[in-house]
Chains A and B, each alone.
Chain A
Amino acid sequence: MITGVMLKGIGFTLSLFVVTAVTSIPLGFALTYLSNSKFRAVRAVTRAYVFVMRGTPLMLQLFFFYFGLPFIPFIGKFLVMDRFPAACLTFALNYAAYFCEIFRGGLLSVDKGQYEAARVLGLTGTQTTFRIVIPQMIKVVMPSVANEAITLVKDTALASVIGISDLLHYTRALVNSRADITPFFIAAVFYLLFTFGLTKLFDALEKKYKF
């Protein structure tokens, strides 16, 4: 019965997770390439972006994108977003910064000899990137990406500060009105199940990239 009410919140939790994962990973990858750009200005801007996104609390960023943007003079009125899009945007931009750093670390771990060997074999730049470098990078970053994904599952709970009725919102509302903390237990089980599924998924992926 309580579980039924809480299930209503899972939809938001799941969709926020999926949207963020699907958008922030490619975005993070793009940022990695920008941070390795030949142009110093591009590198500097990327570094600054990562610094700001990693250096401020996610909750503050949620407040900023949802409540703050509409108050910017002149352009503010075009930046009014609904709760869910605002949350997705914030999460995607925030997680992209973390993924950018993870992928950068992955690229650094690819030995210089690999590039040299690729050149000797006559591979083009694109071929080197997609056939030699990226597969090796993916193998290295997989555990960190899994880590971030699990953190993301739990971070989705933060979206309730801008009034998104996620799993934790229903949990807290039920705890408050029923004066009984069983919903906390049920929520913990939901999050654990979700995390368990993710762990299995990443285990499988890691096996695939074992070479």
Chain B
Amino acid sequence: MKRLLAVLFSAAMLCALFTGCSGTGGKFVVLEENFGSEDYAVGMRKGDNTFTLAFQTALDDIIADGTAADISKKWFGEDKVLRDKPFPREITDTGDSSLQYIKDKGKLILGLDVGFDPMGFYDDKGNIVGFDIDLAKEVANRLGVELVLQPISWDAKEMELSGKTIDVIWNGMSVTDKRVEEMNISKPYLSNRMIIIVRDGSDIKTKADLAGKVVACQSGSSALNAIEAEPDTVATFKELVSSYSDNPTAFLDLKSGRVDALVVDEVVGLNLIAKNSK
């Protein structure tokens, strides 16, 4: 009897879990208006100026000869690569040993928080692929070193960098003032708008319609920064829910109707919508 009960309870719990996982479909639309845009760039150790400059020269070459445009077309269907952007913080050649360090090691260790489709994620075979990865392979090629992909926890990225366990952070990283202060940042290579996603048929058509609605975004994200940069708009919201640890969970809440709109990076948002409609 006891055994039977245990089996029944386990089965019931598994069923509940499974139903919770499947969720409902639905369509989504992206509003014309957005919360400004942010730039993506590559992070390197602060003070590794010689390496940063050599890295940038390689990246500039890849952009100039059209390789980057091809990679962009492969992942985004269009050429979205930025050109002729300045360094967020001027990098001068200090003649330090950072380039020699990478050359001696023969490896460029790229740290990424795998799971950011289409920048860096696992394909069906479990290999790490993506726009950033293709670009990085090309850079490593031109620097004459081997590219090593190291999955890291995003929260520990600064520690990984300063502890020399990785050499670059390359994972659709937004340029922020704090990061410019804490690391060497390459020239921005991609621009990314902060789009607003709502359910199809929602009465939200413009940014002003967000008044009295529940708006969601990922915690500590660049989307949150972008929203908070417009305090007057935020004041009209019914609530701003920014406690989601990642965008897919926020998206699930949009799907289920707990929130009315989701503010998210364009590349992530479009991908979420595309995955959902499959």
Whole-angstrom CA separation of A8 from B122 in the bound complex: 11
Q: A173-B122, A176-B116, A181-B252 are in contact. Are A70 and B163 (CB under 8 A)?
A: yes
Whole-angstrom CA separation of A161 from B18 in the bound complex: 27
Whole-angstrom CA separation of A20 from B250 in the bound complex: 36
Contacts of A161 in B (CB 8 A): 153, 155-156
Whole-angstrom CA separation of A105 from B163 in the bound complex: 41
Whole-angstrom CA separation of A66 from B150 in the bound complex: 15
Which residues of A163-211 have CB atoms within 8 Å of chain B's CB atoms?
163, 165, 169-170, 172-182, 184-185, 188
The listed residue (B21, B22, B115, B155) touching A177 by CB distance below 8 A is B115
Tell me if A67 counts as interface (CB < 8 A to partner B): yes
Q: A163-B160, A184-B21 are in contact. Are A175 and B153 (CB under 8 A)?
A: no
**Interface pair B126/A63, CB less than 8 Å apart:** no
**Interface pair B126/A179, CB less than 8 Å apart:** no
* Distance of A79 from chain B, by nearest CB (Å): 11
Interface residues on B, range: 35 or more
Choose among A5, A66, A178 the residue with the greatest number of B CB atoms under 10 Å from its CB: A178
**Interface pair A174/B115, CB less than 8 Å apart:** yes
The listed residue (A2, A4, A160) touching B153 by CB distance below 8 A is A160
Contacts of A1 in B (CB 8 A): 124
**Interface pair A67/B163, CB less than 8 Å apart:** yes
* Distance of B111 from chain A, by nearest CB (Å): 8
**Interface pair A169/B125, CB less than 8 Å apart:** no
**Interface pair B246/A176, CB less than 8 Å apart:** yes
**Interface pair B248/A185, CB less than 8 Å apart:** no
**Interface pair A177/B122, CB less than 8 Å apart:** yes
**Interface pair A175/B126, CB less than 8 Å apart:** no
Tell me if A162 counts as interface (CB < 8 A to partner B): yes
Tell me if B117 counts as interface (CB < 8 A to partner A): yes
Tell me if B259 counts as interface (CB < 8 A to partner A): no
**Interface pair B125/A67, CB less than 8 Å apart:** no
The listed residue (B21, B271, B272) touching A181 by CB distance below 8 A is B21
The listed residue (B126, B150, B246, B276) touching A163 by CB distance below 8 A is B150
Tell me if B5 counts as interface (CB < 8 A to partner A): no
Which residues of A4-26 have CB atoms within 8 Å of chain B's CB atoms?
4-5, 8
User: Using an 8 Å CB-CB cutoff, how does the interface string of B158-180 with A read, 1 for contact, 0 for none?
Assistant: 01100101000000000000000
**Interface pair A67/B115, CB less than 8 Å apart:** no
Tell me if B51 counts as interface (CB < 8 A to partner A): no
* Distance of B180 from chain A, by nearest CB (Å): 23
Tell me if B121 counts as interface (CB < 8 A to partner A): yes
**Interface pair A176/B115, CB less than 8 Å apart:** yes
* Distance of A122 from chain B, by nearest CB (Å): 47
* Distance of B234 from chain A, by nearest CB (Å): 26
Which residues of B23-51 have CB atoms within 8 Å of chain A's CB atoms?
23
Contacts of B152 in A (CB 8 A): 163
Which residues of B69-89 have CB atoms within 8 Å of chain A's CB atoms?
none
**Interface pair A163/B153, CB less than 8 Å apart:** yes
**Interface pair B156/A169, CB less than 8 Å apart:** no
Choose among A2, A63, A70, A177 the residue with the greatest number of B CB atoms under 10 Å from its CB: A177
Interchain residue pairs A-B with the least CB separation, the first 3: A176-B115, A177-B121, A173-B115
Q: A67-B165, A175-B248, A176-B115 are in contact. List 19 more A-B contacts (CB 8 A).
A: A1-B124, A4-B126, A63-B159, A67-B159, A83-B165, A160-B153, A162-B153, A163-B111, A163-B165, A172-B115, A172-B246, A173-B121, A173-B151, A177-B116, A177-B121, A178-B117, A182-B21, A184-B21, A188-B17
Residue pairs across A and B with Cβ atoms less than 8 A apart, 22 shown, are A2-B124, A4-B124, A5-B126, A63-B156, A67-B156, A67-B159, A67-B160, A67-B163, A67-B165, A71-B163, A161-B153, A161-B155, A163-B152, A163-B156, A175-B248, A177-B122, A177-B271, A178-B117, A179-B251, A179-B271, A180-B248, A181-B252
